[in-house]
Chain A
Amino acid sequence: MNTGAAAEQLVHRELVWLVCGIGLAVLPHCTRLPVWIPLLHYCLTLSRLRIPVRWAQQQAVTLTTLRQLAMVAALIGVYSHYGTLAGRDAGVALLVVLSGFKVLESRTPRDFYIGCFLGYFLGITNFLYTQTIPTALFMCLVISIITACLVTRNDTGKQLSIPARLRLSGALLLQALPIMLVLFLLFPRVPGPLWGLPRDANTGRTGLDDEMAPGSVSQLILSDAVAFRAKFSGLTPEPDQLYWRGPVLWFSDGRKWTTGRGQSGRDPAPMNSYGTPLRYEITMEPTGKHWLFPLEMPAYIPEDSYLSADFQLKTKLPLRERNRYTLISYTNFRIGTDHPAELQRALQLPAGKHKKTLELARTWRQESNTPGQIIDRTLQWFSREKFYYTLTPPLIGGDSVDEFLFSTRQGFCEHYASAFVTLMRAAGIPARVVTGYLGGELNPVGDYLIVRQRDAHAWAEVWLGEEGWRRIDPTAAVSPARISEGIESALPDSIIDIPLGLENNVIARDLWQRFNNIRDAINYRWNEWVVGYGHRRQIQFLGQFGMGEADWRGMTVGLMAATAVIVLCIAVRLFGQRSTSADPAGRAYDQFCNKLARQGMVRHLSEGPVDFARRVSISRADLDQDVNRITSLYVDIRYGSQAHGLKSLQQQIRKFRAGYKHQ
């Protein structure tokens, strides 16, 4: 027993829990924040645990001044690092710093609660960066600890041990789980953001963009991140057919290739397709950009997307959430028209650059009759001369194409595609650079292809008059393995995520591969059904129950009803009187007592059945007969070993009504 005055004081054990809870919520941010911010946070929170209260009270004025100075300094620090205090990254940094100060100055229960809520909030900010299963599990731990914090605060009598508090917090969360599921599934989702996303909402996401400079694709090769996953309805095509088409680059400034502004028309060029159509679904990771990556060449496209004249498939809205698209493509096709303006664009070269390349192209043009001959000659040159396919090409200082073709001769797909298109244009053949992905890794567990960022690729398309635009992959001339066996064969092991020491062991490698496949299959499902559960997926999900047409009103009603049912179930479980008696007669008698208790006649702990019956008889003469009969029967069975009366007792108790009889 203690008093309210004592309850207004924060005690050490509460603060320890709070510091732990918030500290864990901040932990995943450590890798994303400048090192001083989490360090400051931990210093502040830990020092709160060390400062003796009395000393802090004596030095209150000095400490407050110091704290305010430190806070201003920290805010300036955050501002100078990010250039702003708004947005995702700066916002998180600010929250981490301020929560540290909040814990430091916690004196009243109110501060304590604010600290706990900041902890919850810090937990949620982690999901702005990553939504993987491990993060989710870690956040479960964080919120159960912060919930245990609240339990600790409210356990004024300090009756609960640490495991008991954790158990209680876990039990509360477990009971909250079904409510969470219902809310998650039925809460009406809206397709777009409510207001503008901060500019940094999508940074850190790697992917192809509308420009390509030497090194931009090879940068992606280092990334293990998944670009998209593709599931074919029929057979999966051969690896050398898996060209996933992305941005098409027309314009070169001598070093960088770009799409060129606003020049690709919206109407796709005519396309003749041959052979069997391939039907497949791709699940795009959010990129914040518009491109989808269809297999060359798409014939059927999803609703909210369009094909440009050069067959770039773009969505109308940027890809903010993980989405699935159904597509149909033909691998045998002929595309393009001899649109003069377009062909003119495909011959553009930066003025006054690539002199040696132009010279070489001019000689080849004089010596050859057809564009086909020039192409063959170029590819042969690439394969015969000492050109190397490497991820770490030497740095090119001067003219990027000249230097690559005539001196370094070591490059990655973007170097070859860029040099090849420059050569073609110089020789008078319209050509353009196409970026996208090549290949993909088959996951036998889920029977789908995973295309990662490291499968990024660049190739060329040349205009061959009657044949239309034809794909030429100059990388194939240098490293055929890249095309037929994927990027893994063309790269050293260190690039691919294989743990050290397993490189040479075939079985271990195999197991590792299988493990990875299972892991990715789980992630695929997780991403599809949990992380990717948005407006579209919700409609799809509700459609399975014949509620596909449900609008937000219907969903809200359903949500409330389902939540009410769950809350009711928990309430019944919680308040339901469970008999603690082991024998059937005792259970029946407990039931009898409950009926009386509901009428306000509660049996005392120390009260025997006979005494209780006497007391009931006095206050409720109308029940006198029933109560005495049942009690004497019970006493006979319980203490007189008269087992045969049990049936009768149970029956009588079932029939017993304690309420007032209305005449």
Chain B
Amino acid sequence: MSAGIVLERMLPDQAGVMPPGTGTLQKQRVYIFPTRQGITFACMLLIMLLGAINYNNSMAFVLTFFLGGLAMVCILHTYHNLAGLVLTGIAPQPVYAGETALFPVTLDNRVGYQRYAIALDQAAQRPWLKTWQRVSADTLYTDMPARHLKTVYIQVETTRRGIRPLGRLKISTCFPLGLFRAWSWLETGQTCVVYPRPDGNRPLPPATIDPLEDQKGNQIGTDDFIGFRKYRPGDSTRNIAWKALARGQGPLVKRFDGKGASKLMLGWHAAGHTQNTETRLSQLCRWVLRAEQQGIHYGLAIPGFHIEPGHGEQHKHLCLRSLAGYGLA
């Protein structure tokens, strides 16, 4: 356990939930190398040693060797400060393009000593020689008390909609003396869904009333109970048949006759005249949000996707995720 950093890989279960402590553990190698200060320190020791030899000065030898011993001990302590930490990447909340995505990473210090100044940053794609010493301005530093679990958020600026992977993480420390840096590369596999930026000022297309339905009124269909169906994520909890659940029949949802519900299909062509896909996606995104806000049942009909009209938080995210992934793989 002490030999390296342990990365816990979370495999989401069928419901997309990742309970902690169930991931697979991967051991990552911890590297250690002198920092620039460490190299300066070594040069100073060399000068001291030459001076001590030349002057044949015993106490100068003592001090030089003392500092040399200190550096050696420092290697162990720096390594010790990092090795054995358990990291878990947690799925981040989706964001709209232009917002800052927060990738939660849980640091788990399971040992009986405190760790100090653990630095987390995104490893640039540059070779390690360029990155091992530099600390970028957005590096996160955190201390880990003994037997303590802590979640830190890695901030990533997003510019485009799509799926943004966190990429390689570098976890490092220079504690206690800054002469050495111990580090490890981690591939947490976290991705953040980046929705299109809601934009565009076209009005919401008029809702169409389904001609097959009775044209009695405009109320939302919650009146007449017509039966049960299986629970789907996103269904309102008000409609869950709790009694059926208590009887052990599994989660069922009560269905009501949706007489008079206004339905809206948000289509590709209504979203813009220009050929710019991103502008259209932004407009669609805004419409989805507005429709959700106004309580309209809406669906999405864009090339490659056809989402039946629906309503609710889950439905909204389904639509937005479709928009985010439009045209990507």
Contacts and interface: CB of A to CB of B under 8 A. Distances in A.
Nearest to B114: A159
A600 B83 CA distance: 14
Contacts of A320: 56
A143 B112 contact: no
B137 A183 contact: no
B54 A156 contact: no
Report whether over half of chain A's contact residues are helix, strand or loop; otherwise say mixed: helix
Given A575-B2, A602-B25, A1 B141 contact: yes
Contacts of B76: 567, 570-571, 574
Interface in B114-129: 114, 116-117, 119, 121
Which range holds the interface residue count of chain A?
35 or more
Interface stretch (B57-65, B291-299, B308-316, B320-328): B57-65
Given A1-B142, A5-B137, A131-B58, A121 B116 contact: no
A154 B175 contact: yes
Given A179-B65, A575-B80, A117 B41 contact: yes
A531 B63 CA distance: 12
A605 B137 contact: no
Given A184-B61, A190-B53, A607-B21, A120 B67 contact: yes
B263 interface: no
B171 to A, nearest CB: 14
A201 interface: yes
Contact of A179 (B27, B61, B69): B69
Interface string A525-557: 000001111100000000000000000000000
Given A4-B119, A5-B138, A157-B141, A187 B65 contact: yes
B6 A602 contact: yes
A197 B116 contact: no
Contact of A117 (B6, B27, B44, B83): B44
B46 to A, nearest CB: 12
A395 interface: no
Given A574-B77, A602-B6, A615-B21, A194 B54 contact: yes
Nearest to A606: B21
Interface residues of B, number: 72
Contact of B72 (A3, A4, A109, A567): A567
Interface string A163-192: 000001000110111111001100101101
A504 B27 CA distance: 78
A600 B26 contact: yes
Interface string B20-35: 1110111100000000
A601 B8 CA distance: 10
A172 B70 contact: yes
Nearest to B155: A3
- Most chain A CB within a 10 A radius of its CB, from B1, B24, B121: B1
Nearest to B173: A154
Interface stretch (A76-84, A122-130, A228-236, A266-274): A122-130
B139 A127 contact: no
B40 A570 contact: no
Interface stretch (A47-55, A145-153, A420-428, A514-522): A145-153
B137 A602 contact: no
B25 A121 contact: no
B125 to A, nearest CB: 18
B44 A184 contact: no
Contacts of B80: 574-575
Nearest to A88: B55
A176 B116 contact: no
Interface string B84-112: 00100000000000000000000010101
Given A117-B41, A574-B76, A7 B135 contact: yes
A619 B69 CA distance: 44
Interface in B5-54: 6, 20-22, 24-27, 36-37, 40-41, 44, 47-48, 50-54
B14 to A, nearest CB: 16
Nearest to A149: B177
13 contacts: A2-B140, A4-B135, A127-B59, A154-B178, A159-B143, A172-B177, A173-B66, A189-B53, A193-B56, A201-B55, A533-B58, A604-B20, A604-B110
Interface of A: 1-8, 109-110, 113-114, 117, 120-121, 123-124, 127-128, 131, 135-136, 139, 143, 147, 150-151, 153-157, 159-160, 168, 172-173, 175-180, 183-184, 187, 189-190, 192-195, 197, 201, 320-321, 530-534, 563, 567, 570-571, 574-575, 577-578, 580, 594, 597-598, 600-602, 604-607, 615, 619
Interface of B: 1-2, 6, 20-22, 24-27, 36-37, 40-41, 44, 47-48, 50-70, 72-74, 76-77, 80, 83, 86, 108, 110, 112, 114, 116-117, 119, 121, 135-143, 147, 149, 152, 174-179
| In the A-B complex, the 8 residue pairs with the closest CB atoms | A176-B69, A179-B69, A4-B139, A183-B65, A127-B59, A157-B143, A597-B1, A5-B137
